[in-house]
Chains A and B, each alone.
Chain A
Amino acid sequence: MAVLELVELEKHFGGLPAVDGVTFGFNDGEILAIVGPNGAGKSTLLKTIIGIHPATSGTIRFSGTDITKMSTHRIRKAGIAMVLQTPRIFGSLTVRENVVIGAMFGNPKGVSESDAYEEADEMLAVVGLSSKADLAIDKLNLHEQRYVDLARAIAGRPKLLLLDEVMAGLNDTETASSIELIRRLRDRHGVTVIWVEHVMKAVLSLAERIAVLDFGRLLTSGDPQVVMRDPKVVKAYLGGKALPDA
């Protein structure tokens, strides 16, 4: 069953289509990677879903509700969270306080401060940063700051998590731990993950389905091993050179 449906979704910037008539259904509980060359509209698609960029036309339905015209904070409360490529942290707050904000405001029911602290500690434990909860956020490295961002996103228990190139700039160990964490989030917390990524190794080892975008249009979608061998994908994205077996 599709938890998120896009119908003829378009996003234009000054007449230039960044997302061009995308119709697609995202299944409940899956980990889906969106790949494509630079400028294909992958990040724009995620930002349009979460309401950062208002859609030019088309419909976005989440769990049956039309969220096309909703503002970002309302979409968050409705159950969709997003982590951007560059960690967007609250610089004057501690690690724990950063997550408290997500727990307090991300939950549609409205959470008290003490409950938000409790939830924040729980989410920091999920991402393995409990020992650094009291540190100022700027004391953490990029990888850890992304985890704080992720903890803040999953606080408030969203149903759907949008990840925008969260593995960019990470070393092999950090990438492996990120893969493990995303898989754990889905398995234990039932979160559906839609994930834009360039690190193909990570995509092939984690994604259960792949959607390929090119010039804002959906080129193809399906099983990662099959899709990455599709001649259209090989030509558009991989420069005519197929990937080796994962």
Chain B
Amino acid sequence: MVPYVAVAITAVILSLVPLWIGDSRTLTGVAVSGLLFACYATAFNLIFGSTDQLFLAVGALAGVGAYTSAITSDRLSLPLPLTIILGMIVAMIISGLFSWIAVRRSLGIIFTGIVTLTFSLAFDNLLLGQRSLTGGETGMVIDAGKGAFFRGQIPPYYVFLTLLIGFLLAYVAIHRSRMGWAFRALRDDQLSAELSGVNVAKYRIYAGAIGGAMLGLSGALWAHVEGFISPATFTFVHVDVQVLVMLVFGGIGTLLGPVVGSAFFTYLGEVLASFSQLRLIVEGVLLIVLFLALPQGVVGAIVIGITRLRERRKGLP
């Protein structure tokens, strides 16, 4: 029950944020971006935190979802929900394919990272090259009428809050299922997991596909909420580096690590917005200190602390 309660408390706290930031359009935009990154980080946490697959294509997979949805709704005039589902499915297939390749070729963490990073860079070039379809560097505006459902009736903040809570609930459900047991086993020791009867390849592909679907869905929704996408929105530096930093800060493999990490760095980014150079230095120093002091991340350290306290109360060694 504890994880579900944690998600419920997170939902309540985050739903009160609009009251705190008031009518400011800038701050609302920052908050929405923070939620989007929390969604990205949760998906990445499922892939990397649960199954040790370093996918350096978080932005690219979100971009696949966004561009698939934008192009099919804009050029083919397909219904909006269908285009979003299409974006999600295409990202899911590509991401699942990454896992399949990594499993078939027995790629370790680093080589999986290299393969997916190559895709990231290639995807960026594809977007720039296919100008007639994607608008190239200038990006593409998505027809306002088709996105009106998100932009007109539901505030973007709540669209992404609902998505994030949905992702967190899915994360909990997965980790409480048979799949979750398999994830814990293969993350700790792949050979031992196989010897225990866990089909490591299958569960890696599941994690890749589900995480990819989450990224594709986030990207597709972002495209329609914003009404505009460009290659810069999904670059490795803009998305993947940020997501990695957020996850490391919050705690890899923890439920709320992605939320805490993205909330902290979104807030820090806003506080240091007027000192662009200083911001990078502060973030860098903070990360080094955190790596040394809290290698499990903030949430990871809290969880370990609570566990030790419980053990002490029970009188366990």
Residues of A within 8 A of B (CB): 50, 52, 71-74, 76-77, 81-82, 84, 88-93, 97, 100-102, 104-107, 113, 134-136, 139, 152-153, 156
Contact = CB atoms under 8 A, between A and B. Distances in A.
Given A101-B181, A104-B178, A91 B197 contact: no
B197 A106 contact: yes
Nearest to B178: A104
B196 A105 contact: yes
Report, nearest first, the 5 A-B pairs whose CB atoms are least far apart. Answer: A105-B197, A88-B192, A90-B188, A106-B197, A72-B194
Given A104-B181, A134-B316, A139-B317, A73 B199 contact: yes
A88 B195 contact: yes
A152 B196 CA distance: 7
Given A90-B185, A101-B181, 9 more contacts: A73-B200, A81-B195, A82-B195, A88-B192, A102-B197, A113-B178, A113-B181, A139-B316, A139-B317
Contacts of A76: 194-197
A176 to B, nearest CB: 25
B198 A105 contact: yes
A153 B195 CA distance: 8
Contact of B189 (A72, A73, A88): A88
Contacts of A91: 188-189
B185 A73 contact: no
A77 B197 CA distance: 6
Given A73-B199, A139-B317, A101 B178 contact: no
Contacts of B197: 73, 76-77, 102, 104-107, 156
Interface residues of B, number: 23
Nearest to B192: A88
A93 B188 contact: yes
Contacts of A71: 194, 199, 201
Contacts of A52: 191, 194-195
15 contacts: A52-B191, A52-B194, A71-B201, A73-B194, A73-B196, A73-B198, A73-B200, A76-B196, A81-B195, A88-B191, A90-B189, A90-B193, A92-B184, A101-B181, A105-B198
Nearest to A139: B317
Contacts of B196: 73, 76, 101-102, 105-106, 152
A100 to B, nearest CB: 7
Contacts of A101: 181, 184-185, 193, 196, 198
B182 interface: yes
Interface string B166-184: 0000000000001001101
Contacts of A113: 178, 181
Contacts of B316: 134-135, 139
Contacts of B182: 105
A135 B317 contact: yes
Nearest to B194: A72
A50 B191 CA distance: 11
B178 A93 contact: no
A89 B184 contact: no
A92 B254 CA distance: 12
A136 B191 CA distance: 20
A72 B194 CA distance: 6
Contact of B192 (A90, A97, A100): A90
Nearest to B186: A90
A244 to B, nearest CB: 37
A205 B70 CA distance: 73
Interface in B207-245: none
Nearest to B182: A105
Contacts of A102: 196-197
A216 to B, nearest CB: 22
A84 B192 CA distance: 9
B184 A90 contact: yes
Contacts of B188: 89-93
Nearest to B316: A135
A34 to B, nearest CB: 18
A152 B317 CA distance: 23
B68 to A, nearest CB: 34
A139 B198 CA distance: 25
